[in-house]
Amino acid sequence: MQITLVKYVAADFDYFKRLVSDLETMRYITGIEWEEIEARLQFDAMLEINAVEESLGFFKVVNQKNEFIGNCSLECYKYDAAILEIGYVLKREFWRMGYGSAILQRLVHKANNSFPGMDVIAIIDPENQASRKLLEKNGFVCYFKGVEDSKFAEKFILKNFHTY
């Protein structure tokens, strides 16, 4: 499945806003859809990170038809800079089409090329069965179930994935 990850630029705000303003899409991310002000604040913070980080950042995901299909990220885990955290979210109309696997594999490949030997984690809502299956299918194992940042979360890790 052909996808392209492109770092967000200022002109991409409308793509991001439409994605995060959909309640069903955001159900397992924040539990609520974002208003424009919240979307703008997050987007501006993402652009700041993109400007200073060469290999890390926030990416729009486009498919082979050059359609915007979602969002993903590769960043240092906020509680341990020696660990990379990946994240992904797809527009609803692209769910269950294999794009999640393609994004995850691309992020792992990107992490491996830029930061060989570093552990990679993903944090999901415990009710998000699709993400759990996707992560497990791609070699991630659950190592934490509990509360983080005042939300229930499950953390998955792909240890020493340089052999992935």
**Could you tell me which residue, 116 or 160, shows the higher pLDDT?**
116
In whole angstroms, give the CA distance from residue 34 to residue 142. 28
| pLDDT-above-70 percentage for the chain | 96
Q: Are the CB atoms for 70 and 88 separated by under 8 Å?
A: yes
In whole angstroms, give the CA distance from residue 72 to residue 89. 6
pLDDT value of position 151: 84
pLDDT value of position 160: 57
Q: What domains does the chain contain, in order, with CATH numbers?
A: 3-163 (3.40.630.30)
Q: Sign of the CA dihedral 105, 111, 116, 120?
A: negative
Residue 56 in tokens? 């890390």
